[in-house]
Amino acid sequence: MKNRIIFGLIVLGLAVLFIVGIGLGSVYIPFSTVVDYLFGNPIPETHYSIISKIRMPRNITALISGAGLSLSGLLLQTLFRNPLAGPSVLGISSGSSLGVAIVLLAGGSMSGVIGTGSVVLGAILGALAVVLIISAISMKFEDVTLVLIAGMMLGFLSSSMVSVLAFFSNSERLKPFIHWGFGSFGRLNEYQIPSLLLLLILAIIAALLLYKPLNALLPGEQFAGSIGIDVKKVRIIIIVITGVITGLITAFVGPIGFIGLVVPQVVKILFKTNHHSVTIPGSLLLGAFIALACDIISRVPGQDFSLPLNAVTAMFGAPVVLFVLFRSRFKRNLS
């Protein structure tokens, strides 16, 4: 019952934020116009274009990205049995960035089917490569700290390779890459969103189908194996899902930090359970909510400037990570 109330509140919050997201932007649009738009009443053409072609796609991209990154973080935390695992911490986002950097700094662009396709492919391959390496390390060594450090080092390595590529690149090619690196939910148009949404839905279905093996993985792989779970197969599926989700979202919106790491933590605290039948929908909904909230904050309502999205997610995420760390240490001290 309590869980239902929390789910209901998150959904209600999402609806409110969605309307706020449509109403706020750098151009003032009266609330009555937003209401007219939502009810299909005629509104001025410029306002219609701004809402339907800029704010709606941006809001939907934020929802999809937040949900996708949170799901990816949750799966990684289960796979590595580590609350601090996430696409940005394990270097997966950096791997995607390296893939994108290779494409963009070699003269590629985000325009057209071939351009967008090559950037997406670069991002997915970069993400998958890092997840595979991390996975291999985690199979070889049980030590969770070692896996985390290895992930961070892979992240640094990818970032340094990006820096070297950027240094040797000319300013014309560097600018699109730097622009991409700030992260933004406002880059996808109404034609690109359906493909991103479709892939996310496929990933969600796959994750939901996996919730029983995922629950079995929580106590450890040995336990999962003892009750007949094909651990190797589940591991590969998780790697592919997280690599594709992270790579795809990173390609379109840029490297967004903290959401994938923080949201599953908050969900576990809110719902007081690790059970995936709760944490998967919880992470999807709360991820969408937090991404939308961060996007609205980054637009700095009423001001003539906007903040980089990554800065806002970090401002929100870092205190939560510290809270989780101190909380777990505090509990350990008590016991």
- Among 119-127, 134-142, 287-295, 301-309, the segment contacting another protein (CB under 8 A): 301-309
User: Contact between 102 and another protein (CB under 8 A)?
Assistant: no
Size of site (CB under 8 A) for another protein: 26
Q: Does 50 engage in binding with another protein (CB under 8 A)?
A: yes
The residue count of the chain comes to: 335
Residue with tokens 């590969």: 236
Nearest by Cα to 53 from 179, 248, 251, 187: 187
Token duo for residue 318 = 């870092």
d(CA 118, CA 164): 21
Structure tokens at 315: 């401002």
- DSSP per-residue letters across 44-113: -HHHHHIIIIIIHHHHHHHHHHHHHHHHHHHHHHHHTT-TT--TTTTTHHHHHHHHHHHHHHTT--S-HH
Hey, which residues between 151 and 190 contact another protein (CB under 8 A)? Answer: 170-172, 175-176, 179-180, 186-187, 189-190
Indicate the residue among 189 and 328 with the shorter CB distance to another protein.
189
**Cβ neighbour number for residue 75 with a 10 Å cutoff:** 29
25 binds another protein (CB under 8 A): yes
For residues 179 and 327, which CB has a smaller minimum distance to another protein in the complex?
179
| Cβ–Cβ under 8 Å, residues 246 and 252 | no
DSSP for 230-272, written as a single string = -HHHHHHHHHHHHHHHHHHHHHHH----SHHHHHHHHHHHHH-
Per rule CB under 8 A, is residue 297 in the interface with another protein? no
Q: Which of 64, 89, 92, 110 binds another protein (CB under 8 A)?
A: 110
Beta carbon of residue 173, minimum distance to another protein (angstroms, whole number): 9
Looking at 22-30, 90-98, 120-128, 225-233, which segment touches another protein (CB under 8 A)?
22-30
Interface with another protein in residues 52-81 (CB under 8 A): 53-54
With CA atoms as reference, report the closest residue to 5 among 291, 282, 265, 208: 282
Q: Which stretch binds another protein (CB under 8 A): 50-58, 147-155, 232-240, 288-296?
A: 50-58
Q: Site residues for another protein, window 190-219 (CB under 8 A)?
A: 190
26 contributes a contact to another protein by CB under 8 A: yes
Convert residues 114-133 into a mask of x (bound to another protein by CB under 8 A) and - (unbound): --------------------
Cβ distance to another protein smaller for residue 142 or 190: 190
| Contact positions vs another protein (CB under 8 A) | 25-27, 46, 49-50, 53-54, 109-111, 170-172, 175-176, 179-180, 186-187, 189-190, 304-307
